[in-house]
Each structure stands twice: as C-alpha cells, then as structure tokens.
Amino acid sequence: MTSLRVISRKIFLSALLSAILASCSSGIATQPIREATSTVADTDTAIPTSLPSATVRPATITPLPTRPTATIYPPYDPPADWPGQPLPGFQVSLQYPPGWQIQTNDPAPMDGEGIMVNSRCNAGEGQNAVCTLEANRLELYGSYPAVNLWNSNNGFYGCAILPSSDASAPELGTLLAWYPYWVKQDRILQIEAPIDFLVAIGRGLQSDLEYTPPTGNPDLVPSDCYLNKQAPKQSAMGGLNLTTFRLTSSACYQSLNVESFATLLPKEAAEGRSALWNAQGQDRELLNQQLKQFGYQIHDNILYKEGAPQTKLLGWVGAPLINASRSWFILPITDSSGFPFTNFSNQPLPAGEDPVFYSSLGYVPHFAFLEDDLLWVQYDIHHLTPVGAPSRLQLMRNDEVIFTYSLLPSSPASGPLRGLNT
C-alpha cells in the first residue's frame, strides 16, 4: 500500500516539473531533480467527514456616545430657554436671553447686559428712508455701518443697523421694527441690544393684538391703501401750477416700497408724465443747438460727430449736462427700445464705465457739474455685503471721495439712488 503511494507521487511530481521546465526559455540552466520521498505513514489515518459544531455566543452591542445638541451662534430665532416679557406700553412682548434686563424709555445705563426698548413717531416716510437716514448718523454708528432688512413670521419687519468699529459703542446694534399691518399703530419700535442677538430678539416679537384675516379681499394689502381713485389736488408754487395725485395713505406707505406705487398711478397722471417725458426727449432743435458747439448733432435719432455716426438708433434722449468752460458734455440716452439708460460723453467717464443705477420710475441722474468739477456717484467696492452686494455709496468730486453713505441692499425693481443734482 505504501509503495503504490510513493510511485504515484513520483510520477505526478515528475510531470509537474516537466511542464514547468517546458515553459521556460532555452537559455535557463537546469539542475538535476532529486527524487522525492514520501513521509506518509504506513497506517491509514481516517479523515473526519464533519467539523465540530461552533459555539454560539450572544452578540454584544456597544452604543455610540451621545452627541451634544448643536448650538447656533449667533442665534437666528430665539432659543427655547429664552423667557418672554410683555411690554404693555408698546403692545408687544419679546423674548430675551436669560439673566438680561429690559429697560424702556430710560436713558440711564444698565448694570450688565440688557435690551433698551423705545419707540419713535412713524410719519409715513417709508421703511427705506427711515432706515437709511438712521444708519447714516455717524456720531452713533461710526463711519461704515451696515444696514440690512429683516422680517419675522409674526408680521413684524424692519431693518437692523450694525455699527462699524469706530462707533462709540460698536458692540450695540439698533433694530427698527414696524408693526404688522393689522395693528393700527403710528409708532416704530426701536430696540438696542448686543449685535449678536439683535435679529433673534426681533424675530421673537409678538403683537398683543390677535391677527384677524381680511374678509372679502384676498389681497393682504388693506383696501384703504388704494387712494388712487381720488380727485387730484390743484396748487401753485414758484409760478408753476401743480397737480398732486394721492396714491395711498401715510399709514400704508410705511409697509409698501415706493416702487409698488408705479402701477397705482392714475391714468390722467400717467398721461401727464408721458407728455412731460416726451417733451423733454423730443425737443431736438434745442438739443442740437446745445450740442453744436461740441461738433455733435442728432439726425433721424442717431448722434453724429462731423458726419460720422456715434450711436445706434436712439430712443429717449435727455437734457445734456455741460460744464462751466463748455468743454465737456454728458448726454443721457436710451437705445430704440427705450432701455437701458446710459450716458454718452465727449470725454471718458470716470473709471472708464458708466455706473449702473436704475429705477422702474425712470432715469436716475448720477452725474453733475459744479463749475468745471465733475460730481458723480459710485459704489464703494471696499465695503460689500457677505454676498458681494454694495453696502455704501461714494460721492466723488473728480477723483476725490467727499462723502460716503450707507445704504440698504438693492432690490430687483430699483437701485439705492434716486438722483444727483446741484
């Protein structure tokens, strides 16, 4: 039995080595193969046909460590642990950080952190005007304050003013809050608090008056806001006869952007505006007299210089600006479509381009001459919002900044400038 095993293993090993050597190249030297010997015992050993069964152990699950709840800082909404405080004199309640004080209508300093709540008269100037004028009080908010719009789910809205580092109290911001439209209130809330908590405090405001949905009118703007059906008021000033059309009430004006009223203009007022607009743009004879001294003329709605066309087909053309020495003119124009507004000049404009200022109400003049000095407005590229939008305007005199102005972010309907005049 043992000898048979040895023979069979010798034959198998010899065949295997022969196959390996046959596959090698002829240049490889071969060594003599020694005959293998078996170490198998003479006695047969039984091979087990099954393995012993495994011992089943119960699984042990180790729980992951508990993670702390994420904390947002600064908070956007009031956290759950902020207590509430009714302020009956203001018809509101607000939430504030634990341990803080709330002080109302009292200029005395507080011991520790707290919130100062006051109110101011709402004369109907509008949110943009009030917020922008307040933000540009340099003695309070420094040279470069930021002003941003905000609103809450409770109907309050307004702006947050964040002072610059050179302010007298750079850690304190101001929140101007308009009441919800269903609250008949002629005051604006003014809240002063540390800037990190300002927006969360504003979003925690609650009105004491319950919201009553409008009936019979799906529009959220009350019907008494629309006064454009009233007859116009006639008056005279400086030798001019004035016709004043009232579009809305002073109470409603606070909650609507001025651009919203462009569509409320009565037909008679719209026709009068168009007539003035066309009269300004169609008096080409007077316009050509002004441009003749510079060698320019308009013929068939195209601006020419010494017979060479300088523009494409024009639409509206405004009155030119001319400096005192009559060496430079700037002409506001549009193309044949009536948009966009731009400026043509016989000299290069500052920065090599025309800054973009726009409004649905029409052309926005942003150049002016003071004798031979050019006044112009540009955005301050060194002070932008976190998303890259301009946050300040600069009034330039030639190449010198003579005034800076903080502003609200631009909206799709309008820019922050309404005109520059001397």
For 355-364, what is each residue's pLDDT tens digit? 566 666 577 8
Instruction: Check which CATH number belongs to the domain holding 175 and give it.
Output: 3.40.1000
Determine phi and psi for 341, rounding to 5 degrees: -80, 135
Average of per-residue pLDDT across 393-413: 82
128 falls within a domain = yes
> Both 120 and 229 in a single domain?
no
Task: Note whether 364 and 419 are within 8 A (CB).
Answer: yes
Instruction: Give the tokens for residue 123.
Output: 């004369």
> Both 262 and 373 in a single domain?
no
Cis ω before 86 (30° cut-off from 0): no
381 falls within a domain = yes
Q: CB under 8 Å to 113, separation ≥6 — which residues? A: 97, 99, 100, 101, 194
Q: What angle do CA 115, 117, 122 make, to 5 degrees?
A: 150
Per-residue confidence band for 236, with pLDDT thresholds at 50, 70 and 90: confident
> Both 199 and 226 in a single domain?
no
Domain that includes residue 246, residue range: 222-267
User: Distance between CA atoms of 249 and 269, rounded to whole angstroms?
Assistant: 18
336 falls within a domain = no
Question: How far is CA 109 from each of CA 5, 46, 76, 326, 380, rounded to the nearest angstrom?
Answer: 107, 99, 27, 59, 36
> Both 364 and 394 in a single domain?
yes
pLDDT at 140: 92
221, amino acid identity: V
> Both 109 and 194 in a single domain?
yes
Question: How far is CA 68 from each of CA 79, 81, 223, rounded to the nearest angstrom?
Answer: 16, 16, 51
Mean per-residue pLDDT over the chain, rounded: 76
Alpha helix locations (H) across 40-192?
127-135, 138-141
For 117-136, what is each residue's pLDDT tens digit? 999 988 777 788 889 889 99
Task: Note whether 182 and 167 are within 8 A (CB).
Answer: no
Q: What angle do CA 116, 119, 123 make, to 5 degrees?
A: 155
70 falls within a domain = no
pLDDT at 309: 94
Q: What is the CA radius of gyration of the chain?
A: 41
Closest CA to 180 of 198, 156, 203: 156
Q: Which one has a higher pLDDT value, 402 or 270?
A: 402
> Both 203 and 230 in a single domain?
no
Give the number of other CB atoms < 10 A from CB of residue 328: 16
Q: What is the pTM of this model?
A: 0.60
For 25-50, what is each residue's pLDDT tens digit? 444 444 444 444 444 444 455 555 55
User: Distance between CA atoms of 62 and 37, rounded to whole angstroms?
Assistant: 55
User: Distance between CA atoms of 124 and 18, rounded to whole angstroms?
Assistant: 106
> Both 385 and 417 in a single domain?
yes
Average of per-residue pLDDT across 97-118: 81
Residue 309 DSSP SS3: strand
> Both 155 and 119 in a single domain?
yes
Residue 196 is given by DSSP the state G
> Both 201 and 233 in a single domain?
no
The continuous run of DSSP H or E covering 10 comes out as helix 2-23
pLDDT at 105: 75
11 falls within a domain = no
Number of domains in the chain: 3
Task: Note whether 160 and 180 are within 8 A (CB).
Answer: no
User: Distance between CA atoms of 71 and 98, rounded to whole angstroms?
Assistant: 16
> Both 259 and 196 in a single domain?
no
338 falls within a domain = no
User: Distance between CA atoms of 395 and 386, rounded to whole angstroms?
Assistant: 23
pLDDT at 380: 85
The continuous run of DSSP H or E covering 268 comes out as helix 267-282
> Both 89 and 147 in a single domain?
yes
Considering only 191-205, 218-232, 278-292, 373-387, which range has the smallest mean pLDDT?
Answer: 218-232
124 falls within a domain = yes
User: Distance between CA atoms of 228 and 264, rounded to whole angstroms?
Assistant: 6
DSSP string of 283-294? -HHHHHHHHHTT
308 falls within a domain = no
Name the burial class of residue 341, with classes exposed (0-12), middle (13-18) and buried (19+) by CB atoms within 10 angstroms of its CB. Answer: buried
Residues forming beta bridges with residue 175, ordered by sequence position: 160, 191
User: Distance between CA atoms of 420 and 375, rounded to whole angstroms?
Assistant: 8
> Both 96 and 192 in a single domain?
yes
